[in-house]
């Protein structure tokens, strides 16, 4: 299969991740929009739980549903939930509905992510191919962040800013197009009956697996600090308007896309552990430099406008690389259950990261934004070496 044909084959999966990235990462827009109102930072931070707790709960209990219905039909069901939710959001114009809306998005994303990962695992061959495909699909996730921040940034800064919620109707339209492409796809699926969830849980709760899940928790924890709170950091500390504040996340996402896309090109040429360590060490060096600038060059913090996006080149490849390395050693019949735990720990990291950062801002310690986001990376660096050795021993 040629690269062009392969890329076209996985287009529905890429579009699905693009759609969910726009929905999940509009949290930064909601925080930016309501942070100047009577909604407190703590309430905005808790809002993340209405998205992530349903993701965690549904991920565990939807495994049987996906196994019986099939990954493709399950992904289609999730996209239909997105269409309904996006059509209702502008109509029910009140802050309380965001809680309901994020629950809908969380449920649909949990189903969609397990389905997409299962399709990739069932249709990929070697570990290198799995890493390549997963990096490309995950790269579309970063493009979604770029699109939602640029699009809504323009809308919030225009004379139509009062109608910003109607931008979600465009996402509903894109979801309908993705549904059409998905129904025309021809993916291989692992046929499986009803899974024995309790026995499966006992088998996966091994030290090596728990170590991997904890690494994912820390990684998403760090990513969420940037995805949800970077625009607010820009607006509060760099004195820029909403449009330029959202551009901070947009260009971080653009460089993140480049990081994942280049990884899909280069990963077949490099050893996995060396590539991971290079990204982690380079990322921490850049974050240390950024923190020094924040604390010592208060009159020229605009230079961070150029440094922060570069971080995306090195933080974005980590998540798909860890997942592909882990799933390559999992039997196809167990993929749904394993991915459900990937989603659970990822959502937990997202919630805790956003909530923790909300308290950082509430306490006025946002100048230490970089230090707070960098601490989990130090632990990830140590755990990565242990995780890599355990995988080698298990093989």
Tell me the pLDDT tens digit for each residue of 79-110: 999 999 999 988 886 777 888 888 999 899 98
pLDDT-wise least confident of 13-22, 74-83, 123-132: 123-132
| Distance, CA of 15 to chain centre | 14
pLDDT-wise least confident of 106-115, 146-155, 253-262: 146-155
Phi-psi label, residue 2: left if phi above 0, alpha if psi -120 to 50, beta otherwise: beta
pLDDT-wise least confident of 38-42, 164-168, 282-286: 38-42
Delineate the domains of the chain, giving CATH numbers in brackets: 11-188+203-394 (1.20.1250.20)
pLDDT-wise least confident of 108-117, 182-191, 295-304, 332-341: 295-304
Could you tell me the pLDDT band of residue 301, with boundaries at 50, 70 and 90?
low
**pLDDT at site 372:** 84
Query: How far, in Å, CA of 77 to CA of 66, rounded?
Result: 10
Mapping DSSP onto H, E and C, the string for the chain reads CCHHHHHHHCHHHHHHHHHHHHHHCCHHHHHHHHCCCCCCHHHHHHHCHHHHHHHHHHHHHCHHHHHHHCHHHHHHHHHHHHHHHHHHCCCCCCCHHHHHHHHHHHHHHHHHHHHHHHHHHHHCCCHHHHHHHHHHHHHHHHHHHHHHHHHHHHHHCCCCHHHHHHHHHHHHHHHHHHHHHHHCCCCCCCCCCCCCHHHHHHHHCCHHHHHHHHHHHHHHHHHHHHHHHHHHHHHHHCCCCHHHHHHHHHHHHHHHHHHHHHHHHHHHHCCHHHHHHHHHHHHHHHHHHHHHHHHHCHHHHHHHHHHHHHHHHHHCCHHHHHHHHHHCCCCHHHHHHHHHHHHHHHHHHHHHHHHHHHHHHHCCCHHHHHHHHHHHHHHHHHHHHHHHHHHHHHC
Query: How far, in Å, CA of 88 to CA of 91, rounded?
Result: 5
Q: With 0.85 as the threshold, say if the pTM is over it.
A: no
pLDDT-wise least confident of 79-93, 186-200, 237-251, 261-275: 186-200
**pLDDT at site 391:** 56
pLDDT-wise least confident of 149-163, 187-201, 282-296: 187-201
Sign (positive or negative) of CA dihedral 19, 24, 25, 30? positive
**pLDDT at site 77:** 94
Query: How far, in Å, CA of 19 to CA of 4, rounded?
Result: 22
Residue 281 has pLDDT above 90, yes or no: yes
Quick one: what percent of the chain has pLDDT higher than 90? 15
Residue 239 has pLDDT above 80, yes or no: no
């Amino acid at each position: 299969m040629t690269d062009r044909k392969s890329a076209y084959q996985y287009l529905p999966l890429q579009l699905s991740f693009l759609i969910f990235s726009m929905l999940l990462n509009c949290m930064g827009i909601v925080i930016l929009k309501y942070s100047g109102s009577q909604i407190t930072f703590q309430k905005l931070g808790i809002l993340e739980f209405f998205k992530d707790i349903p993701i965690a709960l549904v991920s565990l209990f939807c495994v049987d549903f996906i196994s019986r219905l099939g990954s493709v039909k399950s992904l289609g069901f999730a996209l239909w939930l997105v269409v309904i939710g996006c059509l209702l959001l502008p109509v029910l114009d009140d802050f309380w509905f965001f809680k309901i809306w994020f629950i809908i998005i969380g449920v649909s994303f949990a189903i969609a992510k397990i389905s997409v990962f299962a399709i990739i695992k069932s249709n990929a061959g070697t570990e290198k191919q799995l890493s390549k495909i997963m990096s490309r699909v995950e790269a579309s996730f970063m493009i979604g962040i770029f699109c939602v921040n640029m699009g809504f940034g323009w809308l919030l800064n225009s004379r139509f800013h009062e109608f910003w919620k109607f931008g979600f109707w465009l996402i509903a339209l894109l979801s309908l197009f993705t549904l059409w492409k998905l129904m025309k796809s021809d993916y291989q699926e692992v046929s499986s009956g009803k899974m024995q969830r309790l026995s499966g849980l006992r088998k996966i709760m091994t030290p090596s697996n728990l170590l991997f899940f904890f690494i994912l928790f820390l990684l998403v924890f760090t990513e969420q600090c940037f995805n949800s709170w970077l625009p607010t950091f820009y607006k509060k500390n760099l004195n820029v308007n909403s449009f330029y504040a959202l551009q901070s996340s947009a260009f971080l996402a653009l460089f993140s896309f480049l990081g994942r896309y280049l990884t899909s090109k280069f990963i077949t040429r490099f050893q996995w552990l060396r590539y991971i360590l290079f990204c982690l060490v380079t990322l921490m060096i850049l974050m240390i430099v950024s923190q020094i600038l924040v604390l010592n060059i208060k009159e020229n913090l605009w230079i961070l406008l150029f440094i922060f996006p570069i971080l995306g080149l090195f933080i974005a490849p980590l998540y798909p690389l860890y997942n592909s390395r882990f799933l390559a050693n999992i039997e196809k019949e167990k993929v749904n259950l394993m991915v459900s735990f990937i989603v659970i720990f990822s959502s937990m990291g997202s919630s805790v990261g956003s909530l923790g950062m909300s308290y950082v801002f509430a306490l006025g310690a946002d100048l230490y934004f970089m230090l707070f986001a960098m601490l989990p990376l130090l632990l990830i660096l140590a755990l990565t070496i242990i995780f890599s050795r355990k995988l080698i021993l298990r093989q």
